[in-house]
């Protein structure tokens, strides 16, 4: 069996790389929003967040079981998973290419955009391969996920600048950039995981995963039913208004999604629970999660207008493009993604403590009666809360893209808060753990001081000034927290010590 990944060290390394990716991701988004119209950015969001997601439904099904099998030391599970998921990716890509010409007219998007949608098909097979390596490396070499991400983001910014800004290739350049960035990430993951995918293909594993994946498919179908709300936005509001609403929602979501990076602080929790099942790991994970997720959420809410303004305010194709009007949408989505991130941590607790598959077998009857199946069912409950309400109420807002997107965000938030309570109760039944309420109060107080500063200053409209004030806000939060929280001071000292060890090892390697 593999040695379990270190909780705090792995989390901080992954989180650091994700934070760097926030800035590179924002830079890439700004390149696009300042180069295309709102309608075209709506197409970009539709491609990457809506349509392709339906054809990568199966990309996480085998990896869900691959990680569990690798964590429990089942021989040849990594090689078997890589081959099986790659084949699924090839099949899904071919189906996408065949169906996309018929899908676009159905959702009200012009076939003039078909070449862009066809070009994006390469991302599908890449996502399947990446999903496989992520499940393997999460157990065997979790830091490699950071290296792959950093090179992915570097490629995205450099190549994106050349194609989108310098050559002015618009959406085509954006799609090509993403394809090549994924390819670089695959090469990095292949380098670190190459020895793990040696060996034989065990068809028994594939049989078990396929059996278990019927429940995974049940889950991802539920997720895509929920995500259909964003396609419904275009269908009900029409191509122009609908794509503008999708653009406002997509731009706001892109900024607010920085909050979800906090879940990478507890990325090692899942394999550790599979191997060790220690309740202390859950408590420590929540402390680490809230220490960063709370200030990021509060900061985005307080500075929402500035974050949206830097996406660009200019005339493109004879039309004024101004994303700052989506400020209310961003504030709602910040709270929604904060709640969603907590839900993901709670899901990890449930998934990591289930043990019906200890013997490399997945009894379908036991799986259906497990807490994992209940978690998967919650996505359908969410869909029932959102889609009927959208269908009946959205026509009243169909002439206003801001109100339409705001209503979708509002329903997402309400449904997630309700389900968050259910997830918490489920997790507590699986394994008793202490919830760090006192620590959360300290994080909240420090965040409030930071928010006061951000609300009192004049909100900037330039990228450099916005970044500077955001940095100052982060320093204020950290300073206050270090003063009032002993555990935060200990974590800082431990982190500095860890960095010194890594730098020393790097220096020794250079000398050799």
* DSSP codes joined into one string, 213-268: HHHHHHHHHHHHHHHHHHHHHHHHH-HHHHHHHHHHHHHHHHHHGGGGGGGGGGTT
Distances (CA, A) of 232 to 257, 272, 389, 484: 22, 40, 11, 48
- In percent, how much of the chain has pLDDT > 70? 92
Question: What does pTM read for this prediction?
Answer: 0.78
pLDDT at 33: 82
- Region 52-58: mean pLDDT is 87
How many separate helices (H) and strands (E) can be counted in the chain? 21, 2
Q: Say which DSSP state 74 is in.
A: -
Two tokens at 335? 């709270």
- Residues 294-342 pLDDT 10s: 999 999 999 999 998 877 666 555 566 678 888 999 999 999 999 999 9
d(CA 502, CA 38): 45
Beta partners for 320?
Answer: 315
Two tokens at 83? 């081959």
Beta partners for 314?
Answer: 321
- Region 183-196: mean pLDDT is 92
Two tokens at 369? 């009666």
pLDDT at 509: 46
Average confidence score pLDDT of the chain: 86
Contact 449, 476 (CB under 8 A): yes
More confident position, 497 or 371: 371
d(CA 206, CA 166): 47
- Region 77-106: mean pLDDT is 93
d(CA 343, CA 468): 31
pLDDT at 385: 93
- Region 265-269: mean pLDDT is 79
Q: Is the model's pLDDT at 359 over the cut of 50? A: yes
End-to-end CA distance of the chain: 31
Mark 282-309 as b/e (b = at least 16 C-beta within 10 Å). Answer: bebbbbbbbbbbbbbbbbbbbbbbbbbb
pLDDT at 333: 96
Among 71-75, 183-187, 198-202, the range of highest mean pLDDT: 183-187
d(CA 159, CA 177): 6
Q: Is the model's pLDDT at 73 over the cut of 70? A: yes
* Greatest alpha-carbon span in the chain: 69
- Residues 101-128 pLDDT 10s: 999 998 888 899 999 999 999 999 999 9
Contact 310, 463 (CB under 8 A): yes
Contact 19, 153 (CB under 8 A): no
- Listing DSSP states for 396-463 in one string gives GGTT-HHHHHHHHHHHHHHHHHHHHHHHHHHHHHHS-----HHHHHHHHHHHHHHHHHHHHSPPP-SH
Task: Give Cα 171 distance to the centre of its chain.
Answer: 22
Distances (CA, A) of 327 to 35, 46, 82, 402: 21, 21, 42, 10
Beta partners for 316?
Answer: 319
pLDDT at 507: 56
d(CA 497, CA 483): 20
The values of phi and psi at residue 313, to 5°, are -135, 100
């Amino acid at each position: 069996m593999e040695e379990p990944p270190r909780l705090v060290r792995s989390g901080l390394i992954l989180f650091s790389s994700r934070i760097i990716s926030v800035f590179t991701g924002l830079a890439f988004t700004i390149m696009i929003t300042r180069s295309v119209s709102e309608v075209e950015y709506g197409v970009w969001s539709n491609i990457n967040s809506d349509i392709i997601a339906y054809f990568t439904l199966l990309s996480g099904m085998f990896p869900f079981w691959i990680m569990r099998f690798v964590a429990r030391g089942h021989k040849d599970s990594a090689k078997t998973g890589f081959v099986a998921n790659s084949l699924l990716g090839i099949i899904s890509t071919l189906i996408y290419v065949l169906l996309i010409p018929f899908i676009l007219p159905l959702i009200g998007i012009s076939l003039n955009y078909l070449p862009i949608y066809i070009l994006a098909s390469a991302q599908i097979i890449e996502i399947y391969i990446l999903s496989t390596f992520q499940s393997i490396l999460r157990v065997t070499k979790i830091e490699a996920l950071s290296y792959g991400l950093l090179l992915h983001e570097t490629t995205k910014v450099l190549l994106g600048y050349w194609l989108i800004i310098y050559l002015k290739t618009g959406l085509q350049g954006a799609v090509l950039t993403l394809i090549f960035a994924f390819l670089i990430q695959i090469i990095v993951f292949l380098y670190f995981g190459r020895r793990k995918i040696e060996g034989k293909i065990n068809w028994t594993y594939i049989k078990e995963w396929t059996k278990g994946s019927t429940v995974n498919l049940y889950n991802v179908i539920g997720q895509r039913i929920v995500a259909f709300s964003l396609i419904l936005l275009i269908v009900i509001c029409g191509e122009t208004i609908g794509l503008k609403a999708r653009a406002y929602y997509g731009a706001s979501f892109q900024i607010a999604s920085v909050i979800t990076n906090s879940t990478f602080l507890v990325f090692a929790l899942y394999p550790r629970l599979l191997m060790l099942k220690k309740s202390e790991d859950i408590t420590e994970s929540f402390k680490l999660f809230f220490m960063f997720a709370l200030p990021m959420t509060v900061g985005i809410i307080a500075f929402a207008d500035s974050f949206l303004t830097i996406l660009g305010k200019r005339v493109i194709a004879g039309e004024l493009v101004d994303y700052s009007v989506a400020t209310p949408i961003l504030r709602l989505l910040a709270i929604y993604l904060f709640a969603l991130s907590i839900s993901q941590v709670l899901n990890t607790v449930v998934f990591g403590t289930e043990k019906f598959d200890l013997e490399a077998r997945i009894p379908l009857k036991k799986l259906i009666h497990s807490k994992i199946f209940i978690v998967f069912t919650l996505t359908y409950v969410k869909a029932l809360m959102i889609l009927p309400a959208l269908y009946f109420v959205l026509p009243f807002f169909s002439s206003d893209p801001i109100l339409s997107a705001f209503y979708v965000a509002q329903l997402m938030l309400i449904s997630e808060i309700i389900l968050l309570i259910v997830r918490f109760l489920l997790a507590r039944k699986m394994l008793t753990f202490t919830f760090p309420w006192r620590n959360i109060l300290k994080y909240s107080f420090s965040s409030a001081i930071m928010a006061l500063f951000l609300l009192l200053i004049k909100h900037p409209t330039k990228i450099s000034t916005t970044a500077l004030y955001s940095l100052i806000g982060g320093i204020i939060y950290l300073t206050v927290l270090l003063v009032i929280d002993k555990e935060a001071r200990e974590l800082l000292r431990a982190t500095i010590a860890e960095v010194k060890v890594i730098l020393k090892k790097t220096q020794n390697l250079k000398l050799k």
